[in-house]
Chain A
Amino acid sequence: MVQAGSIPIVETVAAPAPAARGRLHSAMRRRSMVGFIMALPLIALIAGLVVYPAVYAIYLSLLDKSMTRFVGWHNFVFLLNRATFQMVVFQSVLFAISAVVAKAFIGFVLAHLMHAIPSRRQRFYRGLLLIPWVIPLALSTLGWWWLFDPTYSALNWLLNRLGLPSVSWLGEPGWARFCMILVNTWWGEPFFMIMYLAALKSVPEQLFEAAAIDGATGLQKLRYVTLPMMRNVISLTVLFSLIVTFANFDIVRILTNGGPLNTTHIFATYAFQVGIQSGNIPLGAAVSLFMLPVLAIAAVFVLRGVTRRSQEAM
């Protein structure tokens, strides 16, 4: 028997088969079902490695230190009242925003410079500029640490050679924060560069030609042609980088371990110190979850904007 609502072709093919088999067959014919089945391994992977840990972290953050009693929002309220945690929030925001702005700016400039290089030589320079991004971050940060090392700093050696005094790169709060941002920018800027370069290459050349005919200056071309065409890529890269930078751990852990005077701690390093080292896993979970709502809301708005602009362009 044929199910009501099934399309004629299914009726013809499924007619001799038993009812259950027919239903399965018809379901499999639906594109959405096939798509779902194909995506199932990935969905399972995300559920197991992202959703479950995230939900478990939320659950942990609502427990007391011994993890035996439900305390609701107590850990979050407690953290908000601590001066050290307030400093961690400030530093995380400073670190993430400064680094992302610097990466976006440098990446944008580099992408334009790269775009102007003829394609044969461009490949070489593109590979060269990608090196910081492909080296494991922990290793490259160790390299930076040797440059900043208190006793044997190569940078200080250079400064001394020039007759300048040594700088306490990782011992002074201001310099230490600067070093964190510098290393993160150095590491993450190639990602922006490559994304912006790809976006630039997809801008139709006719638009620039039309703008040139209209007498647009370089700056006007940038403002009225390039930027609008790259808006989606810029939004997505900034959002992605913001999330990754807020979650950074390696750089601070290797360079300063949060010091001096806790002035370089960010969410991940402070969460590790409180949760793993000091044995208060629920409080550590609360620290690490602190930016989740802010970033989630930002992600919703950015992605909505991207979808809207994509639909307008279609």
Chain B
Amino acid sequence: MGSVRRITRRKALRLAAATGALPLVHIRTSHAAGRLSVGFWDHWVPQGNEVMAKQIATWAEKNKVEVDFDRITSSGNKLLVTIAAEDQARTGHDVLSFPTWEVQNHHAKLEPVDDVVGRLEAKYGALDPFYQYLGKVDGHWMAVPASSGSQYKGPCARLDLFREHCGIDLPAMYPARAEHTALSDTWTFETFLKAAAASKKIGKPFGIGLGTTADSVDTSGSIFASFGAQLVDAKGAITVKSDATRAVLEYMKRLVPELPQDVYSFDDAIDNRMLIGDQTTLIYNPPSAWAVALRDAPKVAAQCWSFPTPAGPAGRFVPMNIFQFGVWSFSRNKTAGKELIEYLMQREQVQQRCDVVYGFDIPPFDSMLDFDIWDKAGPPPGTLYNYPLRPFHKANRWITGLPAPPQIAVQIYNQALTCNLIAKVTQGGLPIEKAIAWAENELEGYLG
């Protein structure tokens, strides 16, 4: 009988540790580090996709990973459907970009990325609680807040028409430099109402809607927040029956008559068309509408100015939608996926992508707000300087549904509860108390 090599407990532990570490090691030969399938949001500005593809190719070459990169459009909710299908099938891409609520909707199948976010925060500063609300579950980051596609949806207004008909000098109120002006303190919902009335009078009403799609929901939600109206609090208690809700509904009864007649059937494209078609003085939108106007209606584009939302009794809340990069827990190459995400979120890469999309993409780290694209973009010069929120704006990022627990908030958002509540009063003619009772009933359903 030959000699039998004894395995000690120490040896067994070493072997187990080495085996466990295997997936963490890339062997640097051609494509030796495996394959990675990536699906990112198809950017509305095509150059955004091109730069993203180049960055991925550079990373793939350096790390010897074979990467398949798919651009998935959000039109027709294709991205949502893809995410839902891959979640169910437990197969598909390794890394996906997840729109605003989708990390909360699919967190059970996502790989925690605390390590990646931790390193990025150490380098670029802590993330705003807004990102934690959308990306963290039970204290763990389930996706990395991304810049590509993340956007504010604050006002974009016509300089000339505002000056002439509303008596508001936008560059004086929000100049293209780091300065808080006294004039910006007068930008309240009362001023907003007067400007809306003046705009309606000249046949170019504000292009903000009360439909059921994202733009309408974002706008109405931020108005609710500015009046301090919460539908559900952070603990999940229904709080819609409040003086703040009554106040916002009273306000909307005054505002809605100054909006377009078809405000209840607005979708996400109408406001853009109104701006580009010289049909409005103000819309709530990221700079995509301005960018299209630059091409199709340069005279209109030269008169556009982006700036924060008006302030209400509870403050100033600017609607924001974000994308997050997540790795499926069933991915076969999680380590490579995380490394790619970390690479894409480095300052140089974020800036490159931001530059080619006219500053549309908002980086999640405030330390990156010194990119010069927002200073340079024009015409008019400085048009986008106040598009990203800056500390002197004294404004907050907002998503309709906040501060309710995400599983309730997502329903408030997607079922357009704020818009429907306003419509119940302003279109349906329901007394405010009855409309609030209706909303309470709806919310009870979301809790159940």
A residues apposed to B, CB below 8 Å = 65-66, 78, 82-84, 149-152, 166, 168-172, 176, 256-262, 272-281
Contact = CB atoms under 8 A, between A and B. Distances in A.
A310 to B, nearest CB: 42
B426 to A, nearest CB: 11
Contacts of A262: 212, 415, 420
A279 B104 contact: yes
B263 A278 contact: no
5 contacts: A78-B445, A176-B265, A256-B212, A257-B267, A260-B264
A260 B415 contact: no
Tell me what chain A mostly uses at the interface: helix, strand, loop, or mixed. Answer: loop
A259 B265 contact: yes
Contacts of A278: 105, 410-411, 414-415
A166 B424 contact: no
B270 to A, nearest CB: 6
Q: Which of A66, A149, A169 has the most CB of B within 10 A?
A: A149
A261 B424 contact: yes
B433 interface: no
Contact of B260 (A151, A259, A272, A279): A151
| Top 5 A-B pairs, shortest CB-CB distance | A279-B105, A150-B262, A170-B265, A260-B264, A171-B265
Contacts of B266: 150
B262 to A, nearest CB: 3
B441 interface: yes
Contacts of A78: 445, 448
A172 B428 CA distance: 10
Q: Which of A66, A78, A151, A262 has the most CB of B within 10 A?
A: A151
Interface string B254-280: 000000111111110010011001010
B84 interface: yes
Contacts of B108: 66
B262 A151 contact: yes
Given A257-B212, A260-B211, A278-B411, A150 B424 contact: no
A144 to B, nearest CB: 13
Contacts of B104: 279
B80 A277 contact: yes
B414 A168 contact: no
Given A176-B265, A259-B416, A281 B423 contact: no
Contacts of A66: 108
Q: Which of B101, B212, B407, B428 has the most CB of A within 10 A?
A: B212
Contact of B420 (A172, A257, A261, A275): A261
Contacts of B277: 151-152
Interface in B381-432: 407, 410-411, 414-416, 419-420, 423-424, 427-428
B29 interface: no
Q: Which of A78, A260, A278 has the most CB of B within 10 A?
A: A260
Contact of B106 (A83, A256, A257, A279): A279
A235 B240 CA distance: 50
Nearest to A145: B267
Contacts of B423: 260-261
A241 B12 CA distance: 67
Nearest to B279: A151
A66 B81 CA distance: 18
A261 B84 contact: no
B442 A257 contact: no
Nearest to B280: A151
A259 B212 CA distance: 6
Q: Which of B263, B407, B414 has the most CB of A within 10 A?
A: B414
A171 B415 contact: no
A257 B77 CA distance: 12
B8 interface: no
Given A170-B262, A261-B423, A151 B274 contact: yes
B262 A171 contact: yes
Given A151-B262, A171-B263, A279-B106, A261 B427 contact: yes
B270 A260 contact: no
